[in-house]
């Protein structure tokens, strides 16, 4: 019996993949992400980490691109190419961890708010609504100012402020699933909370959560770059945001040091765009309501 | 309607109070010792620290501090800035209007551009226009606002001023002053619109696409209405309603945009004030901007909800 | 003179270029002014596609072949401008589901006046509203402020706005209560005679068409399988599909439609409700009723939507707490603890109205049937128990159905899976909420026969909840009529349905009688 079930699941997964692959945007996004992730992973093997050390900067400040420094140097004379390459790691790690935190909180709150009913869920929903309206960047700024600087703080600040959107989505989806008669049937069969949530609600909600996750990563990476740009990042780590922070503080704009400005920003745009394209393609595949649209 | 209004206002009031409480929690409780946080990485004498403690009222118990804070906040007193050595409320008052001017102009433009492009794209879904405009919007959406601002100011060179709100030597008459402000506003507004309109476009587009399958559109076509009338009279009014709510729900994004844009262009508004406060860090000032920005967004949302009530007959009756 | 509407060899293909699926195949039909033509068929038979092709309202990927002649002019070859002029002015449509066919943000009056303004027709909205027996204040109302019957009337008023010579009504009474349904049908018939328009009436329900149509065409899989005068088509159908459709709408009082052969056994009382009352806030859904169901007995609980019958069923199942009163099973009050309720649910099982949504679309047949077994940790070989349950529900051979997903099954098969899932737990009572309402006419009989066989072979008692008196006539031993939360009449089926005493029962019967009078 289980063999048949597994075969069916494999077939379903394959069909989902085939449909996803038919969206050119999603496929391009996925390939882009794969390439960027690979580069980020291989950075320690392909590059020399000592070039990141300010005290051992190989060039002069604000050198334009040349044969030696393909993308010029920053305000301390380090290679912008090297910095951007290594910045990928921090931006991706922070974006992904913050998303995991955010999606976890959001899913728990969303399912709880929809499933149990009564005043606890009403309270949970008010709480969610409150945080949904609150400008998340302002809250994240407050959190990262009062907490000690570090990657952990950034992850916490982004994760703890970006969950309400997920919570609302999950709640709406849970409510939609629970309104379906098969939930009534499961209850009439004698199924309790654990059965209803585990067998019916979560399997139906998780695909949407997955879609939402890819879109949340995009938001989290922008948020990371913004916080770091404002100088709230980890001062010991190089990320795209912290590079732009340095560029802004040290007058890259007035010096017309475009080579210092363009690469880190372009990195953000490419990664965010790739995640967004993947997410949108997934959304059309997994969200039956959107079939045939977009 | 009256009952709903009362409920909504009550809810908003509760939210505002919660913002104020959250402000205390964030800036007094979480940091443990705010003075340590504020003087981190700076050589400060013990006399200075004691002075700062007394000024912030840290010598009292947490409960007393909380009460003082609530009473003061209710009176409109948000404490004293540590960097400026002036009342936070005064500083915020000065910086409020430049932000309203910038955000207001940018939002209005972004709504017009975004909705128009969204409607056109959805109606001709899959056309070259739709593909290009959606693609551009997605790219814009992926851009950090401040990065776009920096690129723009570098690319335009001396064409537009890149800092502040007006030149000090502009004649004081109204016309020259207005022109000067407008001149200074060009780049910040373009930057904000470029990033924010994408959101509106995408929301409008998908909400209209959803509406396109509605049965009443078939009715409208069957009546013999021209295509553009079907769109203008029937599809768009229905699609606009969910868009309005979403637009206001995303107001927080506009505020985020304001903080970074004002930082890049040194626009003397609340965003720049926030940046100055966090670089201090000037906790009383940051607390003040936090409470005011969050409170403003909550208030705008209540307004949006009321407008929505008036616009949509379905909820008007409920 | 050419007929008002003539379809010549009409075919419609969906899915773009050649090779797409055919929704309509070579249909030939004609209609003269002052006549009513009925178009009958089950869901998906292509009848709505025919309606939409008359005004060329089909989606862009539809390909139309043949001719659609409106007053002798082919709609297919009209220019856009000419087509727009013809739409609504020459022919209008009363759309299926008035709920969604009206624009929610415009006032009703505006929507009725819109085509008049567009086509330059003179007339007044309030007059049109009066014709469909609506008060003038409706003009200022928004669609959501009106009841289902009122919205349907608004749709009809809108269809008449430009005095078209042809009106197409697509399922104009579906989702309406029987009493309102009869009123709307009477209204349509009156307008046909008074205004001399031609009416095309589309429905899955032969009794609706019998009441209003002169001629009748029956469609199946895109083809017209039988056509002729309405009377002869219904009373002496020649095509098997028409026969199946006709038999699905039983004639109350006709022994041929009474499937219950043996008299009800005098078993012990299984389920008893005592003065059960359910309030939702200030509204009372169930107003203190007493009910008994014996082992091996089939009781029909009949009422219109909103009568409280579904709430009562949920209360009997322990899914809803009564405000006062109590429910006894086997003489013992319903347990209130979740463990006790779980045990109770092995005894009493629920069969829901719409099997499509009652099954989790991601679960295979095997998983759905085994769900109850797993919840209750029923000992024994799971596979064998599932197979037995499917066998009992006549899904044979069961192994063939194990891996199927709901969307791969027909409606009747899905309902059998739901029944098998209930049977797997070996219950003593089934509560069936409109068990055949969402099924196509041709499979209703099979499911009813299955219920009766289960009663005979397993001694299963059943409480069948329905709005359909015909269904009660077919399978119930006893019938209970519910109105506004109260039982207005109950007793043996023959007694209540043939000699009704309460006024409401008589109204219900009158509303479904037109068919019987053929």
Q: Count of A–C CB contacts within 8 Å?
A: 70
State chain B's maximal CA–CA distance in angstroms: 84
User: Which of A5, A178, A185 should we substitute to test contact with C (largest number of C Cβ atoms within 10 Å)?
Assistant: A185
- Looking at CA atoms only, how far is residue C372 from chain A in angstroms? 5
- Looking at CA atoms only, how far is residue B220 from chain C in angstroms? 9
R_g of chain A computed on alpha carbons: 23
In a domain? residue B114: yes
How far is residue B76's CA from residue A269's CA, in Å, rounded to a whole number?
42
C515 neighbors C251 (Cβ within 8 angstroms): yes
CB contact under 8 A, B142 and A218: yes
Torsion, Cα C137 C141 C143 C144, to 10 degrees, reads -110
Residues B34, B127: one domain? no
Q: Which of B34, B49, B74 is the last residue of a domain?
A: B74
CB contact under 8 A, B290 and A276: no
How far is residue B4's CA from residue B302's CA, in Å, rounded to a whole number?
11
Torsion, Cα B95 B97 B98 B99, to 10 degrees, reads 90
C120: tokens are 């330059």
Q: Would you state the pLDDT for residue C263?
A: 66
Q: Are strands C298-302 and C478-483 parallel, antiparallel or unpaired?
A: parallel
Alpha helices in C98-229 (DSSP H): 98-101, 108-119, 125-131, 148-160, 178-195, 206-212
Residue with tokens 């107003």: C287
- In chain B, count H helices and then E strands: 15, 0
Q: How many alpha carbons fall within 13 Å on the CB side of residue B34?
A: 30
In a domain? residue A173: yes
Q: Which tens digits make up the pLDDT trace of C142-188?
A: 888 888 888 888 998 999 888 898 999 988 877 677 777 788 888 88
Q: What is the DSSP string of C342-401?
A: HHHHHHEEEE-S-HHHHS-TTS-HHHHHHHHHHHTT--S-HHHHHHHHHHHTT-SSHHHH
Interface check for A56 against chain C (CB to CB < 8 A): the answer is no
Q: Would you state the pLDDT for residue B318?
A: 45
> Residue-wise over B105-131: b if at least 16 C-beta within 10 A, else e?
bbbebbbebbbebbbbbbbeeeeeebe
Q: Which of B74, B106, B133 is the last residue of a domain?
A: B74
Q: Please give the average per-residue pLDDT across A246-256, as a whole number.
A: 85
In a domain? residue A142: yes
Residue B259 domain boundaries: 91-317
B216 neighbors C100 (Cβ within 8 angstroms): yes
CA angle B192, B198, B203 (to 5 degrees): 130
Q: Strand runs (DSSP E) across B215-274, as ranges?
A: none
Residue B53 CA, distance from chain mean position: 33
Q: Give ipTM to 2 decimals.
A: 0.87
A231: tokens are 């100088």
DSSP-derived 3-state class of residue C260: coil
DSSP-derived 3-state class of residue C201: strand
CB contact under 8 A, B264 and A232: no
Residues B59, B104: one domain? no
Q: How many alpha carbons fall within 13 Å on the CB side of residue C205?
A: 23
Residue with tokens 């502040």: B164
Whether the pLDDT of residue A291 is over 50: the answer is no
A267 neighbors A84 (Cβ within 8 angstroms): yes
How far is residue A261's CA from residue A265's CA, in Å, rounded to a whole number?
7
Residue A275 domain boundaries: 81-290
DSSP-derived 3-state class of residue A135: coil
Q: Which of B48, B74, B100 is the last residue of a domain?
A: B74
A38: tokens are 């690979």
CB contact under 8 A, B30 and A256: no
B239 neighbors B208 (Cβ within 8 angstroms): yes
Interface check for A18 against chain C (CB to CB < 8 A): the answer is no
Residues B165, B303: one domain? yes
Q: Which tens digits make up the pLDDT trace of C91-104?
A: 999 987 777 889 98
* CATH T-level assignment (fold) for domain C265-356+429-515: Rossmann fold (3.40.50)
A93 neighbors A151 (Cβ within 8 angstroms): yes
Q: Are strands C36-40 and C91-94 parallel, antiparallel or unpaired?
A: unpaired
Residue with tokens 């002075």: B51
Choose the closest CB to A135 out of B142, B162, B294: B294
Listed in sequence order, the residues at least 6 apart from C118 whose beta carbon sits closer than 8 Å to its beta carbon are B223, B224, B225, C88
CA angle A126, A127, A128 (to 5 degrees): 90
Q: Would you state the pLDDT for residue B118?
A: 93
Q: Would you state the pLDDT for residue C390?
A: 92
Q: Phi first, then psi: give them for residue C324, nearest 5 degrees.
A: -150, 170
In a domain? residue A192: yes
Mean pLDDT of chain A: 86
Q: Would you state the pLDDT for residue A2?
A: 60
User: Which of A1, A182, A184 should we substitute to test contact with C (largest number of C Cβ atoms within 10 Å)?
Assistant: A182
**How many domains are contained in chain A?**
1
How far is residue B12's CA from residue A78's CA, in Å, rounded to a whole number?
51
How far is residue A39's CA from residue A263's CA, in Å, rounded to a whole number?
15
Nearest C-alpha in B relative to A219: B142
CB neighbour class for B132 (10 Å; exposed up to 12, middle 13-18, buried from 19): exposed
* Residues of chain C contacting B215 with CB distance shorter than 8 Å: 95, 97, 100-101
CB contact under 8 A, C57 and B221: yes
- Looking at CA atoms only, how far is residue B256 from chain A in angstroms? 6
B306 neighbors B8 (Cβ within 8 angstroms): yes
User: Which of C70, C101, C142, C159 should we substitute to test contact with B (largest number of B Cβ atoms within 10 Å)?
Assistant: C101
Q: Phi first, then psi: give them for residue C97, nearest 5 degrees.
A: 70, 75
In a domain? residue A74: no
Nearest C-alpha in A relative to B155: A256
Q: Closest by alpha carbon to C27, among C170, C213, C218?
A: C218
Which CATH number goes with the domain that contains B313?
Answer: 1.10.3720.10
How far is residue B68's CA from residue B61's CA, in Å, rounded to a whole number?
11
Number of other CB atoms surrounding residue C196 within 10 Å: 11
- Looking at CA atoms only, how far is residue C111 from chain B in angstroms? 9
How far is residue C144's CA from residue B127's CA, in Å, rounded to a whole number?
35
How far is residue C405's CA from residue B300's CA, in Å, rounded to a whole number?
48
Q: Phi first, then psi: give them for residue C199, nearest 5 degrees.
A: -125, 130
In a domain? residue A68: no
Q: Which tens digits make up the pLDDT trace of A179-232?
A: 888 998 898 888 888 999 998 999 888 888 888 888 889 999 999 999 999 988
CB contact under 8 A, A181 and C353: yes
pLDDT per residue of chain B (318 residues) written in tens, 0 to 9: 677 778 888 888 888 888 899 988 888 877 767 777 777 666 777 777 787 777 777 777 888 888 888 888 888 888 888 888 899 999 999 999 999 999 999 999 999 999 999 999 998 888 899 999 999 999 998 999 999 999 998 888 778 887 778 888 888 888 888 888 888 999 999 999 998 898 889 889 988 988 887 888 989 989 989 888 898 889 998 888 878 877 777 777 788 888 999 999 999 999 999 999 988 788 889 999 999 998 888 888 888 778 777 777 776 554
Residues B18, B132: one domain? no
H or E element: which one contains C504? Answer: helix C503-512
Listed in sequence order, the residues at least 6 apart from A53 whose beta carbon sits closer than 8 Å to its beta carbon are none
* Angle between helical axes of A118-133 and A80-115 (0-180°, round to 10): 150
In a domain? residue A232: yes
A182: tokens are 């098969």
Residues B62, B184: one domain? no
A141 neighbors A81 (Cβ within 8 angstroms): no
Nearest C-alpha in A relative to C425: A189
Q: Phi first, then psi: give them for residue A288, nearest 5 degrees.
A: -60, -25
Listed by number, the residues of chain A in 154-213 with a beta carbon closer than 8 Å to a beta carbon of chain C are 180-182, 184-192, 195, 199-200, 203-204
User: Which of B7, B125, B150, B286 should we substitute to test contact with A (largest number of A Cβ atoms within 10 Å)?
Assistant: B150
Name the stretches of chain C with pLDDT < 50: 515-518
Q: Would you state the pLDDT for residue B11?
A: 84
Q: Would you state the pLDDT for residue C517?
A: 39
How far is residue C289's CA from residue C276's CA, in Å, rounded to a whole number?
5
How far is residue B191's CA from residue B248's CA, in Å, rounded to a whole number?
20
**How many domains are contained in chain B?**
2
N- to C-terminal Cα distance for chain C? 32
CB contact under 8 A, C360 and A190: no
Number of other CB atoms surrounding residue A2 within 10 Å: 6
* Residues of chain B contacting A232 with CB distance shorter than 8 Å: 278
In a domain? residue B81: no
Range C5-248: architecture per CATH: 3-Layer(aba) Sandwich (3.40)
CB contact under 8 A, C103 and B216: yes
Nearest C-alpha in C relative to B313: C105
Q: How confident is the model at residue A104 (pLDDT cuts 50, 70, 90)?
A: very high
N- to C-terminal Cα distance for chain B? 8
Listed in sequence order, the residues at least 6 apart from C446 whose beta carbon sits closer than 8 Å to its beta carbon are C412
CB contact under 8 A, B215 and C103: no
Residues B159, B245: one domain? yes
CB contact under 8 A, A294 and B249: no
* Residues of chain A contacting B142 with CB distance shorter than 8 Å: 218, 222, 268-270, 272-273, 276
In a domain? residue B86: no
Residue with tokens 């197979």: C387
R_g of chain B computed on alpha carbons: 24
Q: Would you state the pLDDT for residue A31?
A: 94
Q: What is the pTM of this model?
A: 0.81
Q: How confident is the model at residue A159 (pLDDT cuts 50, 70, 90)?
A: very high
Residues B138, B282: one domain? yes
Residues B54, B96: one domain? no
Which CATH number goes with the domain that contains A231?
Answer: 1.10.3720.10
B227 neighbors C87 (Cβ within 8 angstroms): no
Residues B57, B113: one domain? no
In a domain? residue B254: yes
Residues B57, B176: one domain? no
In a domain? residue A1: no
Q: Would you state the pLDDT for residue C175?
A: 66
């Amino acid at each position: 019996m289980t063999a048949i079930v597994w075969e069916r699941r494999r077939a379903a997964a394959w069909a989902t993949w085939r449909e996803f692959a038919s969206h050119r945007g999603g496929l391009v996004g996925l390939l882009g992400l794969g390439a960027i992730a690979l580069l980020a992973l291989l950075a320690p093997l392909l590059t020399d980490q000592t070039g990141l050390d300010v005290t051992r900067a190989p060039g002069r400040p604000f050198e334009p691109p040349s044969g030696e420094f393909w993308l010029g140097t920053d305000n301390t004379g380090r290679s912008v190419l090297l910095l951007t390459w290594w910045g990928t790691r921090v931006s991706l790690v922070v974006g992904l961890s913050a998303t995991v935190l955010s999606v976890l909180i959001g899913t728990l709150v969303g399912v709880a708010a929809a499933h149990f009913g009564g005043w606890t869920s009403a309270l949970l929903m008010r709480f969610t609504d409150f945080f949904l309206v609150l400008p998340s960047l302002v809250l994240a700024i407050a959190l990262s100012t009062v907490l000690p600087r570090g990657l952990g703080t950034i992850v916490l600040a982004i994760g703890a402020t970006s969950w309400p959107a997920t919570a609302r989505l999950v709640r709406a989806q849970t409510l939609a699933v629970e309104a379906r008669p098969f939930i009534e049937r499961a209850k009439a069969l004698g199924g309790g909370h654990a059965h209803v949530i585990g067998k019916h609600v979560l399997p139906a909600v998780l695909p949407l959560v997955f879609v939402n996750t890819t879109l949340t990563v995009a938001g989290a990476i922008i948020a990371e770059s913004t916080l770091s740009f404002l100088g709230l990042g980890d001062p010991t780590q190089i990320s795209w945001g912290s590079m732009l922070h340095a560029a802004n503080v040290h007058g890259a704009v007035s010096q017309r040091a475009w080579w210092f400005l363009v690469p880190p920003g372009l990195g953000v745009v490419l990664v965010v765009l790739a995640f967004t394209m993947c997410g949108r393609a997934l959304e059309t595949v997994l969200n039956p309501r959107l079939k045939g649209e977009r | 309607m009256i009952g709903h209004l009362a409920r909504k206002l009550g809810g908003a009031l509760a939210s505002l109070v919660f913002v104020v409480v959250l402000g205390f929690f964030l800036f007094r409780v979480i940091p443990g010792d705010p003075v340590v946080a504020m003087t981190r990485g700076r050589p400060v004498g013990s006399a200075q620290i004691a002075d700062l403690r007394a000024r912030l009222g840290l010598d009292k118990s947490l409960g007393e501090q909380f009460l003082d804070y609530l009473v003061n906040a209710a009176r409109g007193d948000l404490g004293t800035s540590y960097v400026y050595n002036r009342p936070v409320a005064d500083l915020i008052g000065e910086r409020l209007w430049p932000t309203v001017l910038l955000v207001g102009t940018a939002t209005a433009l972004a709504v017009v551009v975004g909705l128009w492009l969204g409607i056109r794209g959805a109606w001709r879904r899959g056309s070259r226009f739709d593909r290009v405009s959606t693609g551009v919007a997605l790219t814009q959406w992926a851009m950090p606002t401040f990065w776009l601002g920096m690129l723009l100011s570098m690319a335009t060179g001396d064409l537009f001023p890149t800092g502040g709100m007006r030149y000090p030597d502009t004649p004081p008459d109204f016309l020259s002053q207005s022109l000067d402000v407008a001149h200074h506003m060009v780049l910040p507004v373009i930057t904000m619109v470029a990033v924010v309109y994408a959101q509106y476009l995408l929301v409008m587009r998908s909400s209209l696409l959803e509406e396109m399958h509605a049965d009443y559109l078939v009715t409208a076509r069957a009546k013999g209405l021209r295509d553009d009338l079907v769109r203008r009279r029937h599809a768009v009014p229905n699609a606009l309603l969910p868009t309005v709510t979403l637009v206001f729900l995303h107001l927080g994004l506009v505020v985020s945009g304001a903080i970074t844009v004002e930082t890049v262009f040194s626009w003397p508004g609340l965003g720049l004030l926030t940046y100055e406060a966090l670089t201090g860090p000037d906790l009383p000032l940051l607390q003040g901007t936090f409470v005011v920005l969050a409170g403003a967004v909550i208030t705008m949302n209540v307004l949006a909800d009321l407008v929505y009530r008036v616009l949509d007959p379905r909820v008007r009756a409920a | 003179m050419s007929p008002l509407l003539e379809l010549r060899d009409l075919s419609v293909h969906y899915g773009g270029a050649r090779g797409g699926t055919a929704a309509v195949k070579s249909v030939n039909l004609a209609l003269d002014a002052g006549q009513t033509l009925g178009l009958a068929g089950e869901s998906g038979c292509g009848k709505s596609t025919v309606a939409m092709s008359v005004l060329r309202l089909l989606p862009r990927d539809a390909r139309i072949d043949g001719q659609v002649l409106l007053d002798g002019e082919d709609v297919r070859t009209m220019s856009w401008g000419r087509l727009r002029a013809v739409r609504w002015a020459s022919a209008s449509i009363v759309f299926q589901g008035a709920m969604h066919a009206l624009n929610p943000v415009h006032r009703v009056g505006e929507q009725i006046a819109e085509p008049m303004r567009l086509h330059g027709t003179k007339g007044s909205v309030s007059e049109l509203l009066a014709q469909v027996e609506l008060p003038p204040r409706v003009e200022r109302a928004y669609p959501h402020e009106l009841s289902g019957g009122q919205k349907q009337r608004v749709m009809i008023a809108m269809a008449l706005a430009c005095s078209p010579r042809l009106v197409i009504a697509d399922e104009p009474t579906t989702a309406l209560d029987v009493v309102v349904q009869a009123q709307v049908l009477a209204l349509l018939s009156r307008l046909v005679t008074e205004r001399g328009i031609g009416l095309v009436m589309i429905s899955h329900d032969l009794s609706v068409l019998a009441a209003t149509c002169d001629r009748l065409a029956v469609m199946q899989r895109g083809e017209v399988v039988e056509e002729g005068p309405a009377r002869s088509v219904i009373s002496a159908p020649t095509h098997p599909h028409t026969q199946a459709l006709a038999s699905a709408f039983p004639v109350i009082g006709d022994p041929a439609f009474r499937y219950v052969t043996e008299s009800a056994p005098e078993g012990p009382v299984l389920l008893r409700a005592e003065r059960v009352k359910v309030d939702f806030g200030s509204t009372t859904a169930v107003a203190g009723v007493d009910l008994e169901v014996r082992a091996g007995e089939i009781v029909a609980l009949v009422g219109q939507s909103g009568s409280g019958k579904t709430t009562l069923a949920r209360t009997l199942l322990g899914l809803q707490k009564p405000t006062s009163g109590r429910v006894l099973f086997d003489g013992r009050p319903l347990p209130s603890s979740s463990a006790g309720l779980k045990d109770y649910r092995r005894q009493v099982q629920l069969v829901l109205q719409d099997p499509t949504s009652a099954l989790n679309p991601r679960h295979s047949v095997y998983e759905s049937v085994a769900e109850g077994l797993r919840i209750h940790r029923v000992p024994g070989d799971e596979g064998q128990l599932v197979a037995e349950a499917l066998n009992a529900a006549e899904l044979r051979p069961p192994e063939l159905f194990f891996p199927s997903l709901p969307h791969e099954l027909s409606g009747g098969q899905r309902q059998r899976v739901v029944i098998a899932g209930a049977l797997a737990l070996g219950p003593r009572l089934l509560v069936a909420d409109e068990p055949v309402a969402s099924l196509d006419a041709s499979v209703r009989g099979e499911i009813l026969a299955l219920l009766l066989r289960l009663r005979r072979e397993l001694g299963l008692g059943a409480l069948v909840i329905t709005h359909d008196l015909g269904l009660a006539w077919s399978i119930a031993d006893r019938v209970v009529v519910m109105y506004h939360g109260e039982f207005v009449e109950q007793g043996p089926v023959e007694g209540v349905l043939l000699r009704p005493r309460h006024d409401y029962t008589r109204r219900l019967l009158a509303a479904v009688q037109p068919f019987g009078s053929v």
